[in-house]
Structure 1
């Protein structure tokens, strides 16, 4: 029975990765002695890697110190895991580099994974020049960069607006027969779109699809943002349709970008239609995008009023209220003024009441519009009454 446990104990530690229970992995690790299972160097490193993978960094570093206290010697594998942990925070990047430089003194030669981890960390924190130096060094040391290493550096270069170097790395990958992945293409597209080269980004999308790589939500979002930024709304809608056909659901931020694009070219009806589509699909803004959606809804209502679409504006206004989106004082004022001029005093009075309930006080101009509206209605009623009296007098005089 014990021998069977020895065979299956170590895989059971690895299972904890799948269930994302790092503390459970430690609990099982601690029970190994109870079942006369020897704690090997591999079992220590596995638990250490689980803790780092689950971002339990403080616990991971404590466990690493425990490993050293138990006499577990440093190895390339364990130091790679430690470097990965230190690369997760900008404040510990220098410590990661220090360990990297000390590895040969400990009899551990850095491998491709070591370089790749450091390059990824440096790029994440905007240190692309240091990342490029390491990239050149790894080739000199006979370590071949993987697609992950290339992609990390390409992403870093694109973030620092070094598009030419990033595209050069893509060509280098092709020469070496390293197939770019979705992250590689998405990073390049993001860089191209930010630089105002959305047409080149679209070409990359077609290359990506031709190589049977499925674009993900990030890929499509990057393209739509770039196209909208350049005012290419037709193309952005085509990408949105492709995204939906692939079964991917656009988020509120993506809809906001398209709606904002229509607002910028004063196509408020289309903007309102996309707001309706978003609501029907059950897409709601999160805490980050909430204020943006409040602003864009108010902008669309105001735009519809300026384009003489009061009924559509009122419909969107009601939708805003039902979803708890704040209505700006300017939006209230424009709606009230519009319906007062139209003579629809019922809607105007309702909006005034809701405005006051929301804590907004109508300004002098709004009150003037309301009073004038009711005054005009009174004058119409008085004129109609006068005409009716005159007609009655004529009927009486004629003896009918």
Structure 2
């Protein structure tokens, strides 16, 4: 088989390669890997992951680099190393455990990364639904121990991530570094993030104090406009900063109000909004939309409906913008049909909601088993009947394909995936994995292998570890 390795497709080659590595037949495994490299059958980052995660899964980085140089004797592009792979993984993989594992592997062997790789790693750890800024801070310390200094965006990513998980203490420490080392000037986004962190952690009195400072009720906000103030220990950095960028009272209100709504503090937000209205001030639509979303999150559906009815026709208020928030909320509580009816009512020659709103209705129809209704709406979007700004995007296709798969219509799902390829609309790894797994479960092994090869060759699978996880789950399903 190795003598005819040029006849093996990438998916089959990986199965053979995994078994050879498990049997410790490394010479033969390297032969097969060299054949894959010579044919340019798989992207370079994936090829590197085969060495890192398959051939030398426990060895130090220097052993990986040695094997890599043996396998890829004539690299088609510039040299590729562990730092390049970390950057690739941080950008392409959504698997936080894999990203963390690669970092700990590199770190434990005392092999340093480049500044670019460290920054990419911190950014990856700070984003997503379950960010891990604590590990990101650990990576930052190692980066500094290596003599590298992170850029401003890296610090801001950490700061915002700590705010997002409700840890203002760590966020404050990052902000101190920003101010002392980077001469960073606070703006309304920094204040807004910190307000959210304070509200998330339940420090509402402190959040109100910061809002008063931003609203210029605390005169120290305008008095202290030094670029780098002398920071006092034991006091929040945010309260020691001025802002050379103008922060209007309106901007301060919106930041504080949205922080309250985003963290479920509906009663506090409601009182703040009433006070604002009593001052004969009309907030922007984002304020009203945030309040509607907060009401739905709190389970106060009828209150949200009544709020919309009371404000949709008021002078100076964008009722259609509030309607969009109401539609999204109705979908979240299983009333997508009402949401679609309202959406049709507000669409006219001047107002066309973006695809995000239509996508949510398609998604909800599919979740409720109303795949036929979802298909009808999807077809209207494809034909442009919902406006130029509501054309199907990659998310629309993916939602529809998942709905068809759940219905058991694999043929129609694959037809849509092929349509995405023809239109050069990129499908993500989750969608391809669902198609490959379903074909395999249905016994269509050749078709399943076809799409698995496409995932490898087009770089949809970020690494060998991702491929192994998919293949193992397929085999367990049978």
Where on the TM-score scale, by shorter chain, does this alignment land: which range?
0.5 to 0.7
1:99 maps to what in 2? 210
| SS of match in other structure, 1:166 | helix
Taking structure 1 as reference, are residues 150 and 247 closer, same or farther at Cα in structure 2, changes over 3 Å only?
closer
Residue deviations 1:161-197 (CA, integer Å, cap 9, x gap)? 3322222221122242344366533322221111110
Does the CA-based 8 Å contact 2:437-2:448 persist in structure 1?
no
Instruction: Specify which of 271, 274, 278 is matched with residue 413 of structure 2.
Output: 271
5+ unaligned residues in a row in structure 1: which ranges? 1-50, 69-80, 336-400
Does the CA-based 8 Å contact 2:402-2:413 persist in structure 1?
yes
Q: Distance in 2 between matches of 1:333 and 1:158?
A: 40
Q: Distance in 1 between matches of 2:326 and 2:210?
A: 31
Provide TM-score, normalisation by structure 1. Answer: 0.54
2:343 maps to what in 1? 205
Structure with larger RCO (C-alpha < 8 A, sep 6+): 2
Q: What is the root-mean-square deviation of aligned Cα atoms in Å?
A: 3.9
Q: Distance in 2 between matches of 1:284 and 1:167?
A: 37
Structure 2 residue 422 is matched with structure 1 residue 280 = yes
1:366 maps to what in 2? none
1:124 maps to what in 2? 262
Deviation at 1:145, TM superposition (A): 2.9
Deviation at 1:232, TM superposition (A): 1.6
Q: Distance in 1 between matches of 2:376 and 2:345?
A: 17
Deviation at 1:101, TM superposition (A): 3.9
Q: Distance in 2 between matches of 1:84 and 1:133?
A: 23
Q: Distance in 2 between matches of 1:247 and 1:229?
A: 24
2:353 maps to what in 1? 215
Deviation at 1:295, TM superposition (A): 3.7
Structure 2 residue 423 is matched with structure 1 residue 318 = no
Provide TM-score, normalisation by structure 2. Answer: 0.46
Taking structure 1 as reference, are residues 304 and 253 closer, same or farther at Cα in structure 2, changes over 3 Å only?
farther
Taking structure 1 as reference, are residues 67 and 233 closer, same or farther at Cα in structure 2, changes over 3 Å only?
closer
Taking structure 1 as reference, are residues 317 and 179 closer, same or farther at Cα in structure 2, changes over 3 Å only?
farther
Instruction: Specify which of 196, 202, 212 is matched with residue 334 of structure 2.
Output: 196
Deviation at 1:238, TM superposition (A): 2.7
Residue deviations 1:276-315 (CA, integer Å, cap 9, x gap)? 22222223344xxx2x22541234304543xxxx4xx623
Q: Distance in 2 between matches of 1:162 and 1:82?
A: 34
2:104 maps to what in 1? none
Q: Distance in 1 between matches of 2:477 and 2:286?
A: 54
Matches within 5 A, 1:362-377: none
Q: Distance in 1 between matches of 2:303 and 2:297?
A: 12
Does the CA-based 8 Å contact 2:312-2:320 persist in structure 1?
no
2:88 maps to what in 1? none
Structure 2 residue 219 is matched with structure 1 residue 87 = no
Taking structure 1 as reference, are residues 83 and 323 closer, same or farther at Cα in structure 2, changes over 3 Å only?
closer
Deviation at 1:206, TM superposition (A): 0.6
5+ unaligned residues in a row in structure 2: which ranges? 1-151, 160-174, 223-247, 462-466
Structure 2 residue 471 is matched with structure 1 residue 328 = yes
Deviation at 1:329, TM superposition (A): 4.8
Q: Distance in 2 between matches of 1:187 and 1:330?
A: 38
Residue deviations 1:252-291 (CA, integer Å, cap 9, x gap)? 44333222222222222212222222222223344xxx2x
Does the CA-based 8 Å contact 1:120-1:149 persist in structure 2?
yes
Q: Distance in 2 between matches of 1:249 and 1:175?
A: 29
Q: How many residues align?
A: 258
- Comparing 221-230 with 118-127, which one deviates more in the overlay? 118-127
Does the CA-based 8 Å contact 1:233-1:261 persist in structure 2?
yes
Does the CA-based 8 Å contact 2:198-2:207 persist in structure 1?
yes
Matches within 5 A, 1:178-189: 178-180=316-318, 183-189=321-327
